[in-house]
Structure 1
Amino acid sequence: MSDLEIKNKIAESGLVNFDIATLLPKGKRIGIDLKDFLFQEMILKEKDFREKIAALNIDDYKDCYIYIYNSADAIVPLWAYFLITAQITHVTKKIIFGNREDLEVLLMHNAIQTYDFTEMMGKRVLVKGCTEENIPLNAYIELVEQLKPLVKSLMFGEACSNVPIFKN
């Protein structure tokens, strides 16, 4: 029997594995449909609208990411969005107008823009291809923008099977 040592060539290669899903902010996401605050889901009556907003249980939104949208075929004045935002903004993590996808794009944008990538300076970086999280495609584009001037090379996929993206 020989004393052959098993080497992990991937670990020795100096390759930095980066999982973009680690940047995804944790927390509950809640959608608020303004149609639920409208009279017959069609008409905004200011007094009724204000009463419904005032009756919100703000604890339901504590430390959550909120997206406000309107699924009704009704015109909602801009001040209505101000009013609902003012009611819950002090307990939420973030509020946006739009759908869940819009929220996720913005959250990932903010995460990528504020992440310190300097630890990857001059390194060979592999962005993990498979993740259990639903990552907006735009996040990958922004990630390449951030990494291009920093890293020696960028690859996408898994260590055993990756696609070279660029070399500096």
Structure 2
Amino acid sequence: MAEEFEIRNKVAESGLINFDIADLLPKGARKGIDLKDFLFMEMILKEKDFREKVEAINTEEYRDSYVYVYNSADAIVPLWAYFLITAKLTNTAKKIVYGNLENLEIILMHDAISNYNFSEMNGKRVLVKGCSDKEIPENAYIELVEKLQPIVKSLMFGEACSNVPILKN
């Protein structure tokens, strides 16, 4: 009689791999540096003043952080200015990129997908989780499909109870 009412997890028995792309998001603080704050009157780069301000950066504030460097001022900034900021933070920050927070997240996810070992999914049915409490750049899903298409048996998007078939090999 007990066997008649046995609860079985058919999803677990199906051999389906549930993959949550949010698990690839690197953990750590995201911090921005606006070059406007290093400019004279937020408009002009004076090399001596700029170098002094860069030298005064407390690198410990950026330890193990992901840093994006941008310029919100309507000023032309020479490329070497980005070099100086990057050189100052390279030994403490985990990653430094040019652009805004969105650019940083795209690059971080690109790196994570590029470096992830997907071999466990070879020849398997894979379901990429559709809902997440973390914001995932759309480009990450594109890159994920590029990585998985040649190796998976089938790829789906969504939840186990309600998914969208993407491809079958």
Tell me the TM-score normalised to structure 2 length: 0.97
Report the Cα distance in structure 2 between the residues aligned to 1:46 and 1:143, rounded to whole angstroms: 43
Q: CA distance change for structure 1 residues 54 and 2 in 2, over 3 Å: closer, same or farther?
A: closer
In structure 1, the partner of 2:150 is 149
- Cα deviation, 1:9-68, whole Å, max 9, x if unaligned, reads 111111100000011111100010000011111111111111111111110011111000
Q: Which residue identity does 2:18 align to in structure 1?
A: N
- Cα deviation, 1:116-161, whole Å, max 9, x if unaligned, reads 0000011100000001111100000000000001110000000000
Report the Cα distance in structure 1 between the residues aligned to 2:3 and 2:123, rounded to whole angstroms: 36
Q: Aligned with 1:166: secondary structure? A: strand
Matched, 1:32 2:22: no
Q: Aligned with 2:74: secondary structure? A: coil
Q: Aligned with 2:144: secondary structure? A: helix
Superposition pairs of residues 98-113 of structure 1, within 5 angstroms: 98-113=99-114
Q: Aligned with 2:97: secondary structure? A: strand
Could you tell me which runs of 5 or more consecutive residues in structure 1 were left unpaired when the two chains were aligned: none
Q: Which residue identity does 1:153 align to in structure 2?
A: S
Superposition pairs of residues 127-146 of structure 1, within 5 angstroms: 127-146=128-147
Matched, 1:86 2:81: no
In structure 1, the partner of 2:66 is 65
Offset at 1:8? 1.1
Offset at 1:3? 3.7
Q: Which residue identity does 2:139 align to in structure 1?
A: N
Aligned length: 168
Report the Cα distance in structure 2 between the residues aligned to 1:41 and 1:156, rounded to whole angstroms: 47
- Cα deviation, 1:51-107, whole Å, max 9, x if unaligned, reads 111111110011111000000000111111111111111111110111111111111
Q: Which residue identity does 1:89 align to in structure 2?
A: T
Offset at 1:2? 5.5
Q: Which residue identity does 1:67 align to in structure 2?
A: Y
Report the Cα distance in structure 1 between the residues aligned to 2:2 and 2:125, rounded to whole angstroms: 34
Q: Aligned with 2:69: secondary structure? A: strand
Q: Which residue identity does 1:16 align to in structure 2?
A: I
Offset at 1:6? 1.5
Q: CA RMSD in A?
A: 0.9
In structure 2, the partner of 1:55 is 56
Report the Cα distance in structure 2 between the residues aligned to 1:26 and 1:46, rounded to whole angstroms: 35
Report the Cα distance in structure 2 between the residues aligned to 1:45 and 1:153, rounded to whole angstroms: 58
Matched, 1:167 2:152: no
Report the Cα distance in structure 2 between the residues aligned to 1:70 and 1:40, rounded to whole angstroms: 14
Q: Aligned with 1:66: secondary structure? A: strand
In structure 1, the partner of 2:78 is 77
